[in-house]
Amino acid sequence: MEDQPQKKKSMRKIILPIIIILLIAAIVAGFIKNMDGPAKGSIAYTSSNPTTAKTTIAAPRTYNGQAISFNYPSNFAISSSKKDAGVLDQVLLVGNDHQGKQAAIEVLQESVNNDSGYNYRKSHPNLYKQQRDAFGNIVFVKSQGGSEYTGLIVHGGMVASVSLSTSLDRDLSNDYNAIVKNLQWKQ
């Protein structure tokens, strides 16, 4: 009978290390599982400059030309361009939001019926859909091979062409409206 207490002691010596090894393996497996999963928690951001920690929407920028002035969205920047002969005002805005957008704004002394851009778009209804914008101006929309949104604003004997385009399939009406809603004539 003395043999049984020794068997119990030897079993305890075997079982206890096995239990400890199993616990360590379970803890290690839990850590590995958490490392493969998504991170949880939050990041606290502190800035030495309190104004940089705020999320702000950039204010629109202003173009002030010879014939017109307007505000344009901050996701555009003015690109240097040479004014064509006979053009009263001309500016090219290039998008800086990685969507390949640009806006070409041009003012000519002419009637809309003599405008070459108007006549071209009007004669290609298979490419351009004619409609009116929220301000009553003639607009042509193209969505084949990229996107184009061109509006013609008539004032006296002048026509301002506001043409936005991109090689991507995008709705350009919001950028167009942001420009046209505050377009001011100087003459």
Kindly report, residue by residue over 139-175, the tens digit of the pLDDT: 999 988 899 999 999 999 999 999 999 999 999 999 9
Number of neighbouring beta carbons within 10 Å of residue 159: 23
Domain map of the chain by residue range? 1-41, 61-185
For residue 50, pLDDT beyond 60: no
- For residue 29, the SS3 value is helix
Contacts of 61 (CB under 8 A, 6+ apart): 71, 72, 73, 74, 76, 77, 78
Q: What is the pTM of this model?
A: 0.68
pLDDT tens string 62-120: 999 999 999 999 999 999 778 888 899 999 999 988 789 999 999 999 999 999 999 99
Q: Which CATH superfamily is domain 61-185 in?
A: Mog1/PsbP, alpha/beta/alpha sandwich (3.40.1000.10)
Average pLDDT of the residues in 132-143: 95
